[in-house]
Amino acid sequence: MAQLIDGKAVAARVRADVKAEVERLKAQRGLTPGLAVVRVGEDPASKIYVNGKKKAAQELGFNSWEHHRDASISQDELLALVRQLNADPAVHGILVQLPLPRHIDAELIISTVNPEKDVDGFHPLNAGRLSLGRPGLRPCTPLGVMRLLEEAKCELSGRRAVVVGRSNIVGKPQALMLLQADATVTICHRKSDLPREVGQADILVVAAGVPELIRGEWIKPGAVVIDVGQNRKADGKLVGDVEFQSASQRASAITPVPGGVGPMTIAMLMRNTLTAATGGV
């Protein structure tokens, strides 16, 4: 049976470290990190995510603001809001919650965020910095995965890592981070031979958004499995992209869903906001 990689426990340690650093910043420099979240419309999931981010920011001693706008807001009005936050010295981190309404060009909005305040790590400049191996703010979920692998004492150098999913938010940046850690990396997608590729993975990261896509029988014995997926089934059960029960019989370590990668995303967002406030990228 695989060792469970407890994302809740690791996230709690990250948040405790951030809170201690925030208290030190306030005492020594009179500096309070500030996080501004922009939410457009009434998407229920976005509202839940934003409330979680606001709560975490407040618990860690940040200043936090939610700028909620109606779904009818024009693109120019939203751009003006982003530029206003860019210019505000009290705001160190800006997060534009996705998805945005269809009439708004999300890429344009994200590209308008000051890259030094881009705590999601989505700005093209930060994506380029990651690709070139230069310092910059990194996407929160892949950053959280790297922390989980570290906590699991998973040796990456020279090992074969397989990433299932090629999104700009998780898959591509995840592959680059693993590559920088000297893993040999393969990115899989819908045209890939998944049983063959997964069967060769020493480290498997799955972020496909397809419930239980990866069968346990495909897992290489002793592999470390990180399941980024969070999918709600018809019966209300939350499952990942990996068949957990059968995979846990073959893997040496595996993240549960829920309680694995999920808590790490907000924890690393808080870490990114602190980094942005201190100019520590």
pLDDT per residue rounded down to tens, the chain (281 residues): 899 999 999 999 999 999 999 999 999 999 999 999 999 999 888 898 999 999 999 999 999 999 999 999 999 999 999 999 999 999 999 999 999 999 999 999 999 999 999 999 999 999 999 999 999 999 999 999 999 999 999 999 999 999 999 999 999 999 999 999 999 999 999 999 999 999 999 999 999 999 999 999 999 999 999 999 999 988 889 999 999 999 999 999 999 999 999 999 999 999 999 999 998 75
CATH 3.40.50.10860 domain position(s) in the chain: 29-114
Range(s) within the chain of domains with CATH label 3.40.50.720: 140-262
- H/E/C letters for each residue in the chain? CCEECCHHHHHHHHHHHHHHHHHHHHHHHCCCCEEEEEEECCCHHHHHHHHHHHHHHHHCCCEEEEEEECCCCCHHHHHHHHHHHHHCCCCCEEEECCCCCCCCCHHHHHHHCCHHHECCCCCHHHHHHHHHCCCCCCCHHHHHHHHHHHHCCCCCCCCEEEEECCCCCCHHHHHHHHHHCCCEEEEECCCCCHHHHHCCCCEEEECCCCCCCECHHHCCCCCEEEECCCEECCCCCEECCECHHHHHCCCCEECCCCCCCHHHHHHHHHHHHHHHHHCCC
Is 180 tagged catalytic? no
- Active-site residue identified among 53, 117, 172, 220: 53
Which pTM value belongs to this model?
A: 0.95
Active-site residue 105, yes or no?
no
- Single out the catalytic residue among 43, 54, 76, 97: 97
Q: What is the CATH number of domain 29-114?
A: 3.40.50.10860
Name the catalytic one among 117, 118, 120, 241: 120
pLDDT value at residue 234: 86
What fold does the segment set 140-262 form as a domain?
A: Rossmann fold (3.40.50)
The reply to whether 220 belongs to the active site is no
